[in-house]
Amino acid sequence: MNSSLLAVTGFGMVAVFMTLIMTRRLSAVVALILVPVLVAAFCGFGPAMGPMIVKGLVKLAPTAAVLLFAVFYFGVMIDAGLFRPLVDRVLAMVGGDPRKVALGTAAVAAMVSLDGDGATTAMVTITAFLPIYRQLGMNPLILAVLLGSSNAIINMVPWGGPLARLAAVLQVDPNAIFLPLIPVMAVGLLGVAALAWRLGDVERRRLGVQDLAPDVWRVDPAQAAVARPKLWWLNLGLTIAVLLAAILRLAPLPVVFMVGFAIALTLNYPRLDDQRARLAAHAPAVMGIVVLVFAAATFTGVLEGTGMVGEMGKAFLAVLPPSWGPHLAVVTAFASGPMTFFLSNDAFFFGIVPIIAEMGQAYGIAPEAIARASLLGQTVHVLSPLVAAVYLVAGLLEVDVGAMQRFGLKWAVALMTLMILAAVAFGAVPLSGNSSVAPTAEAWAASVLARSAS
């Protein structure tokens, strides 16, 4: 198959994949597997397709392991009550002051978001704070915006869905994406705190400071039954050790969370029946993303193994304005917000980012930098009508999704812009590539094919 036809086929495959998941004709998992298999078979790559996919599976296995055991680890810690004293302390501190309530909302949402599951974060945060919002008469849309913004930023951790998808599709070390993002995330969280202060101050002037009813903080009996308050200090020490080992790279990330999870489960739930119950409780949140990562191996394996991605990037390179090329990382960062709002994360990360990453390498921009840039629009993404958690939050708060978007979109864009500026300032996203002049399209495409074969 000639190069032009290969590029057209690649773009067609991406377009079909995106159309199928955007119109909900197929799930992302099914589309990631069937679309490339059918396209590769039709184009005559059938005999070579198996090794291509297996190669992708081998590369993505560590990423899947990180996701699996990190989500299980933090799920066990939430069950054991690691965050409960912190939540209780925050609730006791906020009292009836709307400004403190808003700040507390952002803090609790950020803490609970460490488990990497947006649904859990929504349930815990809304259960804790919605009674206070209602009793004080605060606007519940504030809760929605602070919850979504905190979750979007913390979810950039290696075991969070967005970063895991990017690490999988670009076949890079999750820590290589994550570590330079730590100061950017810190700036983003400061931005959320400033937003909470402002929105809370508006409500404070409108409502004043009030006294809360004594029964406003009720503990769920089911949650209390699995809590292990006597082990709180041990759990805290273990979590700090796990996070330090991950950040300092004392061991590969999958090993850190595998060992941490095994210790946490045995420490808190030594009985076999209890361990099975905790695994069953968190399995639905884990399996969806792990299956998605392995399904992505089919898509990326075929794209790379057939040489489609090289020819697609070559075609893009031919039409890209020369002045844009060296600044592709920043362009990607600003585009990531609207792209993940109007598309799904899967469509953007699996269908578009690999092509951008290959183009970026022609200008001396590492794939990890493109991955970081692609993550910075997540505060906008969490308001997308394509995100299932949006409807969960809207239902729990009894508000309209459109109202959430109208209220929160301007703040989401502001936070995205703040983090892009921070990413450029800290060097997580380069303002320009290492090469001001791109190599010829032919030389670049040859390098892509060489990387695909290695």
Query: How many angstroms separate the CA atoms of 221 and 38, rounded?
Result: 51
The answer to whether the CB of 97 falls within 8 A of the CB of 209 is yes
End-to-end CA distance of the chain: 21
Which of 153, 142, 141, 65 shows the shortest CA–CA distance to 112? 153
Task: Indicate the SS3 state at residue 83.
Answer: coil
Report the alpha-carbon distance of residue 17 to residue 195 in Å, rounded. Answer: 37
- Name the 3-class secondary structure at 324: coil
pLDDT confidence of residue 257: 86
- Residue 207 CA to residue 286 CA, distance in Å, equals 42
Whole-number Å distance between alpha carbons of 155 and 378? 9
Q: What is the enclosing helix (H) or strand (E) of 278?
A: helix 272-305
Q: Is 228 exposed, middle or buried (0-12, 13-18, 19+ CB in 10 A)?
A: middle
Q: Which residues contact 167 (CB under 8 A, 6 or more apart)?
A: 63, 158, 173, 174, 177, 371
> What confidence score (pLDDT) does residue 348 get?
80
- DSSP notation for 330-390: HHHHHHHHHHHHHS-HHIIIIIIHHHHHHHHHHTT--HHHHHHHHHTTHHHHTT-TT-HHH
Which residue in 193, 188, 218 sits closest to 100, CA to CA?
Answer: 193
Q: How far apart are CA 292 and CA 349, in angstroms?
A: 12
pLDDT for position 213: 60
Distance CA 302, CA 86 (A): 47
3-state secondary structure of 27: coil
Question: Contact at 8 Å (CB) between 256 and 242?
Answer: yes
Question: pTM of the entire structure?
Answer: 0.69
Q: Who contacts 242 (Cβ-Cβ below 8 Å, separation ≥6)?
A: 73, 256, 257, 260
Amino acid at 250: L
Per-residue pLDDT of the chain (454 residues; tens, 9 = 90+): 677 788 888 878 878 876 787 677 887 788 888 998 998 888 888 888 888 888 878 877 877 787 788 778 878 888 888 877 776 777 677 777 899 999 999 998 898 887 666 666 777 787 778 878 888 888 999 999 999 999 999 989 887 778 888 888 888 888 889 989 999 999 999 999 999 999 999 999 998 877 766 555 555 677 778 888 888 899 999 988 987 887 677 888 789 889 999 999 999 999 999 999 988 888 876 776 678 778 877 887 887 788 776 677 667 666 667 777 788 899 899 988 888 887 667 778 887 888 888 888 878 889 999 999 999 999 998 887 667 677 668 877 888 777 888 899 899 999 999 999 999 999 999 987 664 444 444 444 455 445 444 5
CB-CB contact of 67 with 258 (8 Å): no
* Domain coverage including residue 312: 3-453
Number of domains observed in the structure of the chain: 1
Give the residue among 432, 433, 416 at the shortest CA–CA distance from 379: 416
Q: Answer for the pair 258, 69: CB distance below 8 angstroms, yes or no.
A: yes
Task: Give the helix/strand (H/E) hosting 32.
Answer: helix 28-42
